[in-house]
A and B are shown apart, each in its own frame.
Chain A
Amino acid sequence: MNRILGFFDQIFVSAKAWLLALLGRFLPDWVVVLASIVISGVVILVMGAVIMMYLTLLERKLLGRIQNRYGPNRVGKWGLLQPIADGIKMFTKEDIIPANADKIIHLLAPIVIVVPAFMIFLVVPFGRGMTAANLNIGLLYFIAVSSVTTLPIFMGSWASRNKYSLLGGMRTAAQMISYEVPMTLSVVPVIMMSQSLSTNEIVLAQSGCSGLHWFIFTPWGLAGFIVFFLCATAECNRPPFDLPEAESELVAGFHTEYSGMKFALFYMAEYMNAFTLCGIAATLFLGGWQGPFLPSWAWFFGKTFILICVMIWFRGTFPRFRVDQLMGFAWKFLLPLTLINILVAALWHFLPPVWAWLWSALILVISFFILVKLNINFVPEKRVYTLES
C-alpha cells in the first residue's frame, strides 16, 4: 500500500529523473543541466496556459450555476472545448491600436504582464520535491515578483491614451500598493514560525499529525490566512475588489483599448495570478502538499482548486466595493489586524501550548471586534422636514 502511494507521490519526479538519466547516457553533463531547466520550464509554460484556459471554463460554469443557468455547454462534452474555441476566436480578432497610443509601450504591456505571472510558478511547491526552483528566499521572491505586476498595468493604461484606461490604471496603483502592505505583513507570522523563507521549508514545518499540522489550525494562522486571502483577491483585481476594471463605470479599466490576443494575454495573466496566489495561500497556511492518504500533488491541487472556487463564489455573490471603502478596509482594518497578528504569533511562541491557544485567540477576537467598532463610519441622522402650512 505504502509503496503504491510512494510511487504515485513521486510519479512526476521520477519521470523527470528517468528522462534526464536517458539523456545523460549519450550527452555531456552541461546539456543535461540545461535539459533539466528546459523540462521544468516547458512544464510550467504548458501548465500555466492550460490551467488558465480551464479556469475560465470553471469560472463560467460555476458563475452560471450561481446565477441559476447552465453556463457554456455546447462546444464539446460539458463545454470542455469552450476554452479552445475562445482561443481561436481571440486569434482571429482584429488587433486595434488607438491612433494616439504610444505604440511600443502599448505592445509591450501585455507581454510584460505575463512574465511575473509565469515567474511565480517557479517557487510554488506542487508536491513533495516538485518545486521548480527551491530558492532559499522563495517567499520574498514571490512578494517581490508579484509587486512588479503593477508596472505593466500602468504601461497599458498610460499607453492607451484613454480616460477610462487611465482611471483604471490609477485605481490599480492605489489598490495594489495598499493591499501589498497587509499581504506582506500577514505572511510574517508564517516566516516566524517556520524560521525560513523557502516555500519548501514552510511546507515541511507544517508536517506532523499525519500531515495535518497546518498553520490555519492556530489562531494566528487563521487570522493570517483570512487577511492573506482577501489581499490576494484584491491583488489579482477580482471581485469584490475589481475596481480597476469595473465594467459599469470604466468600460474595462486598464485594458479598454486592447483586443484580440493582447487582451487574451491580460486575461491569461489575471487567471494565472489567481492560481498562483491560491497556491501560495495553500502553501503558507493550508499545509501545501501535506495531507494523509492521497499523493502530495493531489493534495496541493485539491486545496488550490477549493480556494479558487471560493474566489469564484466571492465573484458570484459580493457587490463591488466603493473606492473609499476599499482603501479604508486595507489601511484601517487589515493593516492593524496583521500587526496585532505578528505580536500574537510571538506570544504563541513563548507561552505553553494551552495558554498560548487561549491568549492568542482572546487577543485576536477582542482586537477584531474593537477594529470593527472603530471602522463603523459616522452616518449623520436623516433629517426629516415637515411641511408647515
Chain B
Amino acid sequence: MPVLEIAVKFGIYAAMGTVLIFALGVVTLRNLFHCALCLAAALIGTAVIYLGLRADFLAGIQILLYVGAVVTLVIFAIMLTEHLAGKTVRQNNSQSLPAVIGLAAFVAILAALIVKTPWPLQAASHAKISVMEIGQALMGTYVFPFEVISVILIAALIGAVVIAKKDNSGEQS
C-alpha cells in the first residue's frame, strides 16, 4: 500500500514540523503560561514521532511523564506565582549573539557527526522492542543502575519532605 506509506511519511514530517514550531514558541513567546503550553504541545508531538517510529512504550511514557507530570508541575508553579502569570517576560538578553554563535558551532559539529556516522538502516527498521523485553532488561541486565536511580529518587523525596517540614524547634524556643 504505497499511498498509506506515503501518508504516514508525510504525517511524521508534519509532526516534526509542528514540534519545531512549538519549540520555537517555547523560547520566543512573552507569556510564561503560553510557553508552558507550547512545551506541552512540543512534547506531545515528540510522542507522536515516537509512535511513528513504532516505539509505543516510549511514546506512552513520554506523555505520562513529561506532559502528565513535568508540564503539570511547571504550570502549577506558574499559577502559584500569580504575579508572573499575567505579565510578559523578556526571553532574551544582551548575550544572545554569543549564544547564537555557540549554538551554530554545536549544530555544525552535530550535523557533521550525523552525516559521517554509518547508520545501520536495516537493523533499525526491524527493531521492535516489547514491554516485556524492557522489563526483563531493567530487572536483569541493568538491575544495578535501576536500583541506583530509585535510591536517588528516594533521596530527592526525603529532601523535599525535609524542606517542606515545619520548623518546630524555632517555635518552641
Contact = CB atoms under 8 A, between A and B. Distances in A.
Sorted nearest first, the 7 A-B pairs with minimum C-beta distance are A147-B68, A144-B64, A144-B63, A140-B60, A30-B3, A137-B56, A144-B60
A169 B68 contact: no
Nearest to B80: A170
Contacts of A148: 44, 63, 67-68
B104 interface: no
Interface string A164-188: 0010011001000100100000000
B138 to A, nearest CB: 14
A140 B86 CA distance: 35
Contacts, number: 80
Interface in B51-68: 56-57, 60-61, 63-64, 67-68
Q: What range describes how many residues of B lie at the interface? A: 20 to 34
A31 to B, nearest CB: 9
A141 interface: yes
A137 B71 contact: no
Given A30-B4, A33-B1, A33-B4, A143 B79 contact: no
A148 B60 CA distance: 11
Interface in A156-215: 158, 161, 166, 169-170, 173, 177, 180, 195, 197
Contacts of A195: 132
Contact of A150 (B68, B85, B130): B68
Which of B1, B4, B72, B82: most chain A CB closer than 10 A?
B72
A126 interface: no
B131 interface: yes
A150 to B, nearest CB: 5
A166 B37 contact: no
B76 interface: yes
B89 interface: no
A329 B85 CA distance: 31
B33 interface: yes
A111 to B, nearest CB: 13
B40 A137 contact: no
Given A151-B40, A158-B79, 19 more contacts: A30-B3, A137-B60, A140-B60, A141-B56, A144-B64, A147-B69, A148-B63, A148-B68, A151-B71, A154-B72, A154-B75, A155-B37, A158-B33, A166-B82, A170-B76, A173-B72, A173-B79, A177-B72, A195-B132
Contacts of B60: 137, 140-141, 143-144
Nearest to B1: A30
Given A144-B63, A180-B68, A173 B33 contact: no
Contacts of B82: 166
A122 B157 CA distance: 35
A73 interface: no
